[in-house]
Amino acid sequence: MKTRLEQIREKAISQISGCDSAEKLNEIRVAILGKKGELTDLLKSMKDVAPEDRPKVGQMVNEARTEIERVLEEHKSRIERALREARMKAEVIDVTLPAGKAQIGHRHPNTIALEEVERIFVGMGYEVVEGSEVEKDYYNFEALNIPADHPAKDEQDTFYITCESGDILLRTQTSGVQVHEMEKGRLPIRMLAPGRVFRSDEVDATHSPCFHQIEGLVVDKHITFADLKGTLAEFAKELFGRETRVKFRPHHFPFTEPSAEMDVSCFKCGGKGCRFCKGSGWIEILGCGMVHPHVLEMSGIDPEEYTGFAFGIGLERIALLKYEIDDMRLLYENDIRFLRQF
Ligand code: DAH
């Protein structure tokens, strides 16, 4: 029995010291000290031992058990310590490593184009003012000489806001800001009013229910069409390059008389005609005209004393042209891969 005990003890100690995980260690414990373990088995054969030897043998078994338990405990804490150290090593943070690159945003082509237009006009002494997107019918239409039966007032084009008086809408143009400025009665006026406008349009490559315009207005004594032409020609040269030529085509707007649309010589082909200008050599960029005397009068300005000119630029159109983008929808999707290119 003594030899058997010695064998168990030695085997246990060698198994324990060769073990490298807490689970395996537990398996060893069960195999030796558990209810069906080898040492427990040995105790069961105590009945074969002569009664006078039993205390001695019992003591030997107990000593072996205590020793195995001690070795098990020691080895267990050794394994735990090694595990902890390995984990700490893996979790070490090297604070001297360079930081990851932060993703930063990008200015939108509309914003870049608007800032460019503002820079040019502010340089000529214009003030940038802000109008409101929700407007009264009066400012969007009536005060601009647009009659009640004008097709633009159709609900198919204009977003009306339901209210008792029925005269509140989302502005369809920035031209109403002209009226607000004139009503203030501070003359002369040199203003630029950029902002969102709304029309009940389906989305496609050239339309959107929400887009941006930049309104311009100059009112002073002795303002003539020559001032309009000189100002807008200078603007076009600043925006598209000094070699740019301009052309004014007669047009009709209710709030200006006479009215015109301004074309610029194609900055791609210089006017020879190419795919970009659809072969014509010219690209339309804005509407303009001399402020209609009715419009001045309605806003409290004497048309005998003061005259003025106005213009309206489509911001998206400028951005699309300047950056050669062929689909307006790209401007609204805000795909960072697209925006990064400008
Ligand atoms: N409001 C016009 C539009 O939405 C653009 C415009 C044309 C504005 C001529 C003006 C102007 O101030 O003089 O189509």
Give me the pLDDT at residue 65, please: 87
In a structure prediction context, what are the per-residue pLDDT tens digits for the chain, which is 342 residues long? 778 888 888 888 888 888 888 888 888 889 888 888 888 888 788 888 888 888 888 888 888 889 888 988 999 999 999 899 999 999 998 889 998 888 888 899 999 999 999 999 999 999 999 999 999 999 999 999 998 888 878 777 899 997 777 789 999 999 999 999 999 999 999 999 999 999 999 999 889 999 999 999 999 999 999 999 999 999 999 999 999 999 999 999 999 999 999 999 998 899 999 988 999 999 999 999 999 999 999 999 999 999 999 999 999 999 999 999 989 999 999 888 899 898
Query: Could you tell me the distance, in angstroms and rounded to a whole number, from the CA of residue 72 to the centre of ligand 1?
Result: 91
- Ligand 1 in reach of 145 Cβ (< 6 A): no
Give me the pLDDT at residue 109, please: 95
* Residue the block writes with tokens 């647009």: 146
- Ligand 1 in reach of 244 Cβ (< 6 A): no
- Ligand 1 in reach of 310 Cβ (< 6 A): yes
The DSSP bridge pattern shows strands 189-198 and 127-128 to be parallel
User: From CA 176, how far away is CA 153, in angstroms rounded?
Assistant: 14
Distances from the Cα of 91 to the Cα of 77, 100, 150, 237, angstroms: 21, 18, 73, 61
Listing from the earlier edge strand, what are the strands of the sheet with 307-314?
A: 127-128, 189-198, 210-220, 307-314, 282-291, 256-265, 246-253
- Ligand 1 in reach of 195 Cβ (< 6 A): no
Query: Could you tell me the distance, in angstroms and rounded to a whole number, from the CA of residue 324 to the centre of ligand 1?
Result: 24
Give me the pLDDT at residue 57, please: 83
pTM of the model: 0.72
Give me the pLDDT at residue 331, please: 95
User: From CA 151, how far away is CA 170, in angstroms rounded?
Assistant: 16
Degrees to nearest 5, angle at CA 191 with 220 and 249 = 80
Q: Could you tell me the sign of the dihedral formed by the alpha carbons of 293, 187, 229, 268, in that order? A: negative
* Residue the block writes with tokens 């048309």: 303
Are the beta carbons of 342 and 109 closer than 8 angstroms? yes
Query: Could you tell me the distance, in angstroms and rounded to a whole number, from the CA of residue 317 to the centre of ligand 1?
Result: 14
Give me the pLDDT at residue 3, please: 85
Nearest to 119, CA basis, from 216, 235, 232: 235
Are the beta carbons of 76 and 29 closer than 8 angstroms? no
Q: Closest ligand 1 atom, CA of 312?
A: 8
Six-digit token pair at 302? 């004497």
Q: Could you tell me the sign of the dihedral formed by the alpha carbons of 6, 7, 10, 12, in that order? A: negative
Distance, CA of 305 to chain centre: 49
Give me the pLDDT at residue 19, please: 86
User: From CA 304, how far away is CA 312, in angstroms rounded?
Assistant: 24
